[in-house]
């Protein structure tokens, strides 16, 4: 578990994930977002995407996961996020989430992080920034 002082401007983390049809179905069930553009190939063929597209928030949630597990890591409290969805993610696309520390505020312990998700061809699908607070847990009281 990192503390605030161990985080530096320019520090980076990344993770790559395949967006499978199964992942899309599970996300739809979890969120109750059954928009047919995500789940019904016949319906999706009639949209401007021309085929099924993953929920945009799947890729965004992968950013959240990386913030909480890697950078800053455990103890991270998500305060805000802006997201610009630039391109669709389709089933079987390989996406890479990249985080880069932009700013640190010593007095508030807030950290501003650039959050970018790209596809296998390098195309940016989501670009944005997150503001997080890094709080290390207090030691538990001994009995």
Structural domains in the chain plus CATH codes: 4-19+56-134 (3.10.129.10)
CA distance 30 to 5: 36
Q: Where is pLDDT greater, at 4 or 29? A: 29
For every residue of 65-118, DSSP letters joined together read HHHHHTSS-TTEEEEEEEEEE-S---TTEEEEEEEEEEEEETTTTEEEEEEEEE
Using CA atoms, how far residue 93 sits from 14, 122, 125, in Å, is: 16, 11, 11
pTM of the predicted model, to two decimals?
A: 0.87
Distant-in-sequence, close-in-space partners of 38: CB < 8 Å, separation ≥ 6: 24, 28, 44, 52, 53, 54, 55
Q: pLDDT > 90: what percent of the chain?
A: 87
Helix (H) or strand (E) holding 16: strand 12-19
pLDDT at 142 over 60: no
Over residues 31-50, the pLDDT tens digits come to 999 999 999 999 999 999 99
Q: What is the mean pLDDT of the chain?
A: 93
């Amino acid at each position: 578990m990192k503390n605030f002082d161990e985080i530096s401007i320019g520090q980076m983390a990344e993770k790559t994930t395949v967006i499978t049809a199964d992942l899309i179905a599970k996300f739809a069930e979890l969120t109750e977002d059954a928009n047919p553009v995500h789940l019904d190939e016949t319906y999706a063929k009639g949209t401007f995407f021309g085929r099924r597209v993953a929920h945009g928030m799947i890729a965004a949630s992968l950013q959240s996961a990386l913030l909480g597990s890697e950078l800053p890591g455990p103890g991270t409290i998500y305060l805000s996020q802006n997201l610009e969805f630039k391109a669709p993610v389709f089933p079987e696309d390989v996406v890479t989430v990249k985080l880069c520390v932009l700013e640190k505020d010593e007095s508030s312990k807030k950290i501003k992080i650039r959050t970018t998700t790209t596809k296998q061809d390098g195309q940016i699908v989501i670009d944005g920034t997150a503001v997080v607070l890094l709080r290390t847990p207090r030691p538990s009281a001994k009995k």
